[in-house]
Structure 1
Amino acid sequence: MVSVCTTCKGLQKHLKALDGADAESVTSTWVNTTIPTLRHSTNGGCRACAVLLQGILLHHDRFEGVKEENVRIKAQSFDTSKGKDAQDHLSVEVRWKELGDGCDDGGHEHEPEEDTGYPDLKLEFFTNQDGQSPFSAIGRGRHISTNPLQDSGLSTAKDMIKECLSSHTRCRHSQTTTLPRRVLDVLLDDGSKGVRLHESEWDGDSQRFEFGEFLTLSHCWGSGKAVLKTTTETIESHKKLIPWSTLPRTFQDAVMLTRSLGFRWLWIDSLCIIQNDPEERLRASYHTDQIFSNSFLTIAATSSADSNDGLFLPKAQPYKIQATDSKGSLFKIYVREQPSHYSFKAPFDDGAHMNDWELPFNPSAEANMHTPLLKRAWAYAERLLASRVLHFTKSEMILECREGYQCECGRIDNSTYDSRTTDSVKQEFARIVEENENKGRIPNGNGTGNGNRIDSVASQLAATSLADVAKDLTQKREEATQLWSYVVTEYTARDLTYDADRLVAIVGIAKMLSQNLKSGYIAGQWTFSTLGLLWHPNDGTRTRRTQVQGIPSWSWASLEGSPISFDDSMAMDLACTASFPAERGRTQAWSPTTGDRLELTAAMATDVQFRIDGDSEYSLVKNGVSVEFRPDVIPLRGDDVVASGETLTCVLVCMTFRSSIIGLVLQQSKTDTQVYRRVGRFESYDCQTDSTEDEPEDAEALLGHWFPEVEDMTQLDDGPQRTFIVV
C-alpha cells in the first residue's frame, strides 16, 4: 500500500476530503510548514512536495540570506463550486519574517503560528488551458496577456470595458460629450506616417461645440526634456502632421491602442496644450475635470517612468516545472508570482473604513518603484476625475472605474484571494459627486425632475423646508469635507515637477466637489470651514515653504515636502471663526490658485513665549505652564525663523474627541503689527508646570492656566474676542 504524504496529502482532493476538510469553506489548506520539512518530504519521495519546493526555490532571490527554517510555506486551493469567480490555481504564501519564540532546539517542527498580514511572497502554481495535471489541487491558471494589442489582450481589455459599461451606471456618460479644444486625429489615411493635431471649432464665447468620443493618456513625462511638445512654433506643423518617428514610444503605443479600440480621437497633454503659453496652460488646467470626466477611457502608463518607456512593458514569464504522475507520464506545471496589485492595495487587511486608513494609503518603496505614475500628483487628479482608467502595469492590465476594479488575474477586488483593503477613494469621490447631482433634481408637481440645484431655495419651498435644506447641506458638507481631506493628504504625498502646479493640478477635483460644499474656495481652503485651517504636515523635518507668489501661510499649499493631514471633527468649538474679506459683497469667492488674507476671530487667544528646548524640540510657555509644539518647518529656517524667547500668539480653535486641544500659532509681522503669519498648528494632550517634577496635567487644565479670566466655557461666544489678519 502506498503511503500518503502527511505534509501535503499529495495535493489530491479526494485524499483531502478523507481528511475531514470543512465542506463549507471556500479554501482548502494543503501545506502549512517550513522549507526544511518540504525538503524532507521531497527526499522521502513525495512528488507534490518536490514541485512545491522547486517552484519556491526558483524565487530564492527574494529571501536570500534568510535561514530556511524561518521560511514558512502555506498552500491553499479554492472550491470552484462556490461561484463563477472561483479559481483553480494553487496559491502558495511564502513568509520569512523571524518567528517569535519558535526556535526549534530539538529537531522537531513546532506548531505553525497564525499567519497575519499579507505574505512576503505569493506564488501561484497552475496548468495551461488544457488543465492536465497530476495533482488535482493544481488546476488552470488565469491567462494574462503579454501584448494588449494582440487578439487575446485586446479582447480582455474590451471585455473589462464592456462589463463596466453594462453594469455601472456611474461610469456611463449621460449626454453626448464634446471634444477638448485640441485632440490628436489617429486615423489618418496612412497611419504609418503619423498623426495630426485637430483643433475643434469654437464659438464666440470660447465654448467647444464639436461632439465626439475621445480617449486620454495619463503618463509620466520623465525628465521632460525629451517629451514631444506642441509650442507656438510647432502648432501649425502639428496640425498638418506629427511624424510617427517623432512620437515617444508611450505615445505610439497609446495611438495604436486607440486605433485598436475603434476610436479616432486621443488627447495627450504635451501635444494638445501649447506648452510655452502660460495662460493657455493655466486655462487648460481649469478644464481637467471636463477633459478627463468626459473621456471615454483614460489610458494610464502606470509602470512607465518616462514617455520613452512605452505603454506595454515586458512581463516576467512563468517558470515551467516538469512533473510526473504515478505512471511516469510527464506534465507541465507553471509557477509565477501573483500580481501584487501594487499601490491599489493597502498593507493592511480588508474591513477598515476609509476614515480609519493609515495615510498615505500605500507609500511603500516597492509600490512606488513598480507604479511610478501613481506617485505623480497630476496623475492622481486625472485618475480621480476619469470615468474609467485602464492601467498598464508590469504584471497585468487593471481597469479602475467609478464603481470598482477589474484585473486580468481576477483577484484585485476579491477578498478570497487578496484580503488587503483596496483603495476606494475614486469610487467614494464618484458616489459623492453623483449623489449631489441626483439630490439637485428637485421634484415638481408631476413627479419629474426640473433639474434645479439645491441652492435654488425659492423653487423648492413648496415641497421642502429650509430646515431640511440646511440639514441636507450639512450632511453633504461633512461627507465631502472628509473626502477632500483624504484627497489632499494623498495628493500632497505625490510629486510635482513645479511648485507652481501645487494648487493648479487639484482645481478639477475642487470644481467637482464644490456643488456638495456650496462654499467659496480660496488657495485650497473651503471658506465655510474653520477646521480646514487645522492642517499639519506629517513630517515637519521634510518640509519647506513654497517660493510661489500668492500662496498664503494659512494654506496647506504653502508647504512642500510632506503629506498634509487634517482634523475634520471636534468635540467642542472654542468660539473661533474664520472669514475671508474676498467674499464680502459676493455670494462666494472662487480663487483656486492664489489667496491673500483671512480674518481669524477667537475668544481664546493669548500671547505665549516660544522656547527652543533642544535639537528640533520646541514648546510654548505662559504663566509657567508649557506645552510641546511642532512648527510647520523643522528646523526653523527662512521666513519661519523664530528666536527662543520671542512672543507668539496662540489661537485655540477646538477640543477633540481625543481629549486634546488644537489651535494655531501665529507670528506678528515686524513691518505691520496688524498682520500675522502662520508658524504652525499645535495639539496639546497635556501641559507641564515648569520648575516642578509634578506629573503633567491633562489638556483641559491648560485652559485654566492660560485663560484664568474665562469662568464659563459655555459663554465664550458672548465674551471678548480678538481678530487677527493672517497672510
Structure 2
Amino acid sequence: MLCEICDQLSVEKLVGLFIDSDAKRTAPYYRLPDGAWLPHHSSYKNLVASAKNGCEFCNEIWASCKLSRHHYRQGDGAKTRDYDSVEKVLQSLEPEDVSGNTQLEVCITSSRIASVESKRRMDTLVVRVGRFDLVVEFKLTCPREENLRFGGYRIGRYDISPDLGSDASFNVAKSWLSTCQEQHQETCVPIQPTTLPDRVLDVGNSKVSKDLQLLETSGTQGVYLTLSHSWGDPAGVLQTTTQNLSQMIKHIEFTTMPNTFQDAVTITRKLGYRYLWIDSLCILQDSRTDWETASVKMGDIYKDSALTIAAAVSTGSNGNLIHVYEQPPVPILHNSLKLNASGDSHRPVSIRRKEKYEDELIDGIVKSHLATRGWALQERYLSERILYYGKRQLYWECRGLLCAADGDEPDKYNENQFWRWHNRPQDIQKLTPNSTAAGITPSKYMEFCSTWYSILEQYSKRNLTVASDKLPAISGVAAQFAHLTGDKYVAGLWERDLRVGLLWRCEEPKNSRRPREFRAPTWSWAALDAEISLGYSERNVGGTLHDAEIVGWDMKMAGRDPFGGVESGHITLNGYSWPLLKIDGDISKADIEHDVYFGHPIFDVASEGNSGDMADAYFDTANQRFICGWKETKADEIVEIRPESLTLFLVRMIVAIGYTGERIPDPEETDTPHFNRHAHYGALILRAASGDMPLYERVGYLSMYCTLSRYEKAWTKSTVTIV
C-alpha cells in the first residue's frame, strides 16, 4: 500500500526536474540544486503518521531516518553530524528550529553524481528532511530484460539473484562472454584454439560431477579456462605430485577436490568449456624442475586462456565461489515506482533501502581479498577476460567492458583505481626482441617504463606466502615488457632505464623487512618486503654529465627463467659521492662542526621521508633515524649517538628548479655537478659491505634540494660496486 503522495511519484517527474534544474552540472552530489527536488510530505510528523497508517514507502523512509548512517548537509560542512540518524539530529534541535522546517523532498540521481552524465544512469532516490538537508538514500532496481530508459538515462540498477550459481547468474556471465566475442573485435583478442598448457584438467563433456582427469596435452590445440585463487593453507589444497601423477591422469574424484576447485569445474562446464588450468593440479608440486618450466610459461598460460575465473573473496581453496548470498533483512518494495506521471499500472522499478556498506564494483575487484595476493596481480594483468565471483554478485573485466552484475561501472572519479596494463591486440604480434627494440620510440619506451613502475607500486603492496616468489610471481609481466621493448631485465629493473629505476624508495620503513635469505641485490626493490614508490612522473629532465654512468652489471639467475629468481648480482656505477654520518640518536647532541660552503653540510633529515632543511631520506628498513654530513669526526667520541659512516652516491638529477628565464646548461657545458643551479637530485645511501672486496650495500634513498656549487669540495669522483 502507498499513500496518495507516494503513489504519485514517477520517474518521469523526477527526471524532468533533474534535467530542468541543470543538476547534471552540479557536483558533488549533495550540492544538487533545489529545483531538482520534488515536494513530498509537508513535515516529518506527517511522514510518521503516513507510515503508521500503512504506507510502505513512508515506513521505509521513517525506518531509514532512525538508522545510523552518513548523511550530508549543504552549506557549512563543519556542522554535518556524520553517522547520527536523521531522527536523532531532529530531536537534538530546538523546537523553534524544527517547527515548519521538516518538509520532505525527493530527488533522483546516481549513487555517484559523475555517473549521471558519464554513464547516463540514474539508480538512486535521495530523500531529504527540511532545510537541514539531512538525507537518506534508496536504491532503484529493475529486471535486466526491461532495460528501462527515460529522458536519455538508464533507470535503476539490475535486479540480481542472491544465488551465484543460479541460471540467472550464469546467463549474465554468458551474456558478457557473447558481448566480448561479438562486439569487442577492436579491443579484445578473440577466443580461439591455442596450444594447450602442458597439463590441463579435463572436466568432460557432461554437466554432472564425473569424468574428471588430468590430461597431458603434448602440445595439442584447444580452448581452456584458468583459475585465479588464493591457496590459503596448502594442506587443504589438492596437489599433483610425481607420486600421484599417474592416478590423476586416470581419474580425479570430484568430491575429493576443495570447494573452490569443484565450483571452478562447475563454472567451466556451465559455460560450455572442457579444459581448465589450476596451478596446484597442473604443476608437479614436488618437482623443482617442473615448477621452473611452468613458471617460465605462466604469463602465456593466463594470456592465452579464453577466460580466467577469479575467486575474488575466498581466502583459501575451501572457500565457495558458487554460493547463496545471505541478504540483510531489508524490505524491497517491488514494482513501487511509476514510470509515467499518467499513472500506468505497470511499475517495473523497485525501491530498496541502501545498505550502509554495500558491495560495489571497486569492492569486488580492486579491494577484494584476491587483490592482496602477489601471484594474482599478473594473473589479472595478463588475462584477456576475467569473471569474478564476489561476495554478493558477479563481476566482469575485459578491455571492452568492466561492470558488475547489477550494472555498476567505473566513472571518471574512480576509473583510475581499476587501471590494469595489458597488451593491445596489435601488440600481440609475434615480434622478435630485436625488431621490437628497433621500432620503439624513446617516448614509447618511457611510457612502458612508467607503466612498469606503476605495476611495481601495486605489486609491492601485495602478500606472498613464499618469500622467494618475489620475482617469479611477476615474471610473466616482465616477459611481456621485454617482448615489447627489447630491453634487458635486471632483477626487477630495466637496463636502459637503470638510473631512474635505482631511485625507488621505501614508503613505510617501519613496516619493511629484509629477508635473511638472499633474494635480490640490495639495489633492487625485490630485496625487500616493503611498499615501494618510484618517481616515474619526474622523468623529463635531460641527462647531465654529473649523472652516474652505468659501468656494468652482472646477474646470476637462480633457475631457467630469465625473469625469475636471482642467485647473485652486482652493479657498478661511476659518478660523484660524498661521505655521510648516520646518527642513531638526537642529532643536536652531536655538536658536529660544519661549514656549508667549504665543509660537508649537515643534513638534518629524519628517516621515512620527513623533510629536513635540505633533503628527504627514505631508509629501506626502520632501524635508521638521522643522517648528516660532517667536517670533523669527533662525533665518534659521543657514545650516546652511535654514529655510522655511510656514503651518498649521486645517481641523477630528477627535477630542474631554475629561476624564470634562466638558461639550462647543456650537458657538454657541465663537466662537474657544481654549476650554479637549484635542482632536485636523487642519490643512493650506501654502506660498506663486509668482506675483503670494496663493495657497498644500498640502505636507502635520499633526494636533495640544493645548489650543488655551494658544496663543491664535498663531492669526489668515485666508482662503486653495489651488491
TM-score grouping bracket, smaller chain normalisation: 0.7 to 0.9
Aligned to 1:244: 254
SS in structure 2 of the partner of residue 171 of structure 1: coil
Q: Take 2:496 and 2:464, find their aligned partners in 1: how far apart are those partners?
A: 28
- Give the superposed CA RMSD: 4.6
For 2:415, the equivalent position in structure 1 comes to: 421
Q: Distance in 1 between matches of 2:697 and 2:346?
A: 76
Q: Which residue does the alignment assign to 2:124? A: 90
Deviation of the 1:472 alpha carbon: 3.5
Task: Quote the offset at 1:661 in angstroms.
Answer: 2.2
Describe the superposition over 1:486-513 as per-residue Cα deviations: whole angstroms up to 9, x where unpaired. Answer: 1111111011101011111000000001
| Cα distance in structure 1, aligned partners of 2:685 and 2:695 | 13
- Residues 261 and 108 (structure 1), Cα distance of their counterparts in 2 relative to 1, 3 Å cut: closer
Distance 2:451 2:235 in 1: 36
Match of 1:646 in 2: 644
Mapped to 2, the partners of 1:675 and 1:649 lie a distance apart of 12
- Give the 3-state SS of the residue equivalent to 2:376 in structure 1: helix
How big is each residue's C-alpha offset from its partner over 1:379-420, in whole Å with a ceiling of 9 and x where there is no partner? 1110111111101111321111134413212221355xxx43
Q: Give me the TM-score of the superposition, normalised by structure 2.
A: 0.73
Q: d(CA) in 2 for partners of 1:618 and 1:405?
A: 58
Query: Which residue in 2 is equivalent to 1:109?
Result: 131
Give the letter for the 1:109 counterpart: R
Report the equivalent of 2:201.
184
Change (3 A) 1:244 1:658: farther
Is 2:377 the partner of 1:380?
yes
**Match of residue 406, structure 1, among 403, 408, 422:** 403
Q: Determine the C-alpha separation between the residues in 2 that align with 1:184 and 1:619.
A: 70
What is residue 170 of structure 2 aligned with on the other side? 154
> In the alignment, which residue of structure 2 is the partner of 1:22?
20
Find the counterpart in structure 2 of residue 726 from structure 1.
722
- CA-to-partner distance for each residue in 1:546-596, whole Å, 9 max, x for gaps? 233241111101111434444453435442133444389xxxx94532153
Instruction: Tell me the residue number matched to 1:704.
Output: 709
What is the CA-CA distance between 1:522 and the residue it aligns to? 2.4
Name whichever of 623-632 and 67-76 sits farther off: 67-76
Q: Does the alignment pair 1:626 with 2:658?
A: no
- For 1:599-618, list aligned pairs within 5 A: 599-614=571-586
Q: Give the whole-Å Cα distance in 2 for the aligned partners of 1:286 and 1:77.
A: 50
Aligned to 2:189: 172
Counterpart of 1:341, as a letter, is: L
Give 1:664's aligned amino acid: L
| Alignment pair present for 1:53 and 2:49 | no
Q: In structure 2, do the counterparts of structure 1 residues 334 and 504 end up closer, same or farther at CA, with 3 Å as the change threshold? A: same
2:364–2:395 contact (8 Å) kept in structure 1: no
- 1:516 is aligned to 484
Match of 2:84 in 1: 66
The answer for the alignment partner of 2:216 in structure 1 is 199
Which one-letter code corresponds to 2:131 in the other structure? E
Match of residue 288 from structure 1: 298
Matches within 5 A, 1:229-240: 229-240=239-250
Separation in structure 2 between the aligned mates of residue 483 and residue 289 of structure 1, nearest angstrom: 17
Q: Secondary structure at the match of 1:708?
A: helix
| Counterparts of 2:712 and 2:271, CA distance in 1 | 68
Q: Is the 8 A contact 1:551 1:596 kept in 2?
A: yes
Q: CA deviation at 1:154?
A: 1.6
1:351-500, aligned counterparts within 5 Å?
367=367, 371-414=368-411, 419-426=413-420, 428-431=421-424, 434=425, 436-437=427-428, 453=432, 455-456=434-435, 472-500=440-468
C-alpha distance in 2 between matches for 1:161 and 1:190: 19
Secondary structure of 2:235's counterpart equals coil
Q: Report the counterpart of residue 205 of structure 1 in structure 2.
A: none
Q: By how many angstroms is 1:25 displaced? A: 6.1
Moved more, 557-566 or 296-305: 557-566
Length, aligned pairs only = 609
Counterparts in 2 of 1:276 and 1:25: CA distance versus 1, 3 Å:
same
Give the AA of the match of 2:64: I
Q: Which amino acid aligns with 1:161?
A: L
- Secondary structure in 2 aligned to 1:506? helix
Q: Which residue of 2 aligns with 1:664?
A: 684
Counterpart selection for 2:506 from 533, 537, 542? 537
Q: How far is 1:191 from its partner?
A: 4.3
Aligned residues of 1:147 and 1:312 also touching (Cα < 8 A) = yes
Contact 2:308 2:387 in 1 (8 A): yes
Match in the other structure for 1:125: 140
Deviation at 1:11? 3.5
Separation (CA, whole Å) in 2 of partners of 1:725 and 1:643: 29
Alignment pair present for 1:76 and 2:76? no
Does the 8 Å CA contact 1:625/1:705 hold for their aligned counterparts? no
* CA distance in 2 between partners of 1:14 and 1:437 (Å): 48
Q: What code does the residue aligned with 1:125 have?
A: L
Give the match's secondary structure for 2:520: coil
Say if 1:313 and 1:393, in contact at 8 Å, map to a contact too.
Answer: no
Aligned mates of 1:652, 1:36 — CA distance in 2: 70
Deviations 1:619-645 (CA, angstroms, capped at 9, x unpaired): 9986243242331101249xxxx9832
Q: Within 2, Cα distance between the matches of 1:515 and 1:182?
A: 25
C-alpha displacement at 1:153, in angstroms? 1.8
CA distance in structure 1 between the partners assigned to 2:591 and 2:7 by the alignment: 64
In the TM superposition, residue 41 of structure 1 has moved relative to its aligned partner by 5.2
| 8 Å CA contact retained: 2:525, 2:532 | no
Q: Retained in 2: the 8 A contact 1:250–1:307? A: yes
Instruction: Provide closer, same or farther for how the CA distance between residues 551 and 23 of structure 1 changes in structure 2, counting only shifts above 3 A.
Output: same
Q: Deviations over 1:694-727 (max 9, x none)?
A: xxxxx223x23443377xxxxxxxxx74211100
Shift in CA distance, 311/399, structure 1 to aligned 2, threshold 3 Å: same
The answer to whether the 8 Å contact 1:215/1:265 transfers is yes
Structure 1 residues 296-322: Cα deviation after superposition (integer angstroms, max 9, x where no partner): 000011011121121123324462248
Counterpart of 2:74? none
Letter of the structure 2 residue corresponding to residue 680 of structure 1 = G
Identify the residue that residue 691 of structure 1 maps to in structure 2.
none
Q: In structure 1, give the amino acid aligned to 2:505.
A: H
Cα separation, 2, equivalents of 1:543 and 1:662: 21
Give the partner amino acid of 2:272: G
Q: 1:408 to 1:644 in 2, by over 3 A?
A: same
SS at match of 1:547: coil
CA deviation after TM superposition for structure 1 residue 665, in Å: 0.7
Unaligned runs of 5+ in 2: 26-31, 72-81, 91-103, 606-616, 626-639, 658-679
Q: Is the 8 A contact 1:41 1:49 kept in 2?
A: no
Identity %: 24
Shift, 1:249, TM fit: 1.2
Q: Judging changes above 3 Å, is the alpha-carbon distance between structure 1 residues 247 and 175 closer, same or farther for their aligned structure 2 residues?
A: closer
- Cα deviations by residue, 1:349-406 (Å, 9 ceiling, x for unpaired): xxxxxxxxxxxxx6xxxx3xxx211111111110111111101111321111134413
Query: What TM-score does the superposition give when structure 1 sets the normalisation length?
Result: 0.72
Which range moves more in the overlay, 335-344 or 55-64?
55-64
SS in 2 for 1:682: strand
SS of equivalent residue, structure 1 residue 263: coil
Match of residue 351 from structure 1: none
Partner of 1:319: 331
Task: Quote the residue 1:268 is aligned against.
Answer: 278
Q: Matched residue of 2:620: which SS?
A: coil
Q: Aligned ranges for residues 132-151 of structure 1 at < 5 Å? A: 141-151=157-167
Shift in Å at residue 286 of structure 1?
Answer: 1.5
Kept in 1: contact 2:118–2:411 (CA 8 A): no
Task: Write the deviation string for residues 158-202 of structure 1: whole angstroms up to 9, x where unpaired.
Answer: 11111112232342248641111111110167943451111112x
CA distance in 2 between counterparts of 1:296 and 1:93 reads 45
**Greater shift after overlay, 666-675 or 528-537?**
666-675
Match of 1:551 among 512, 520, 527: 520
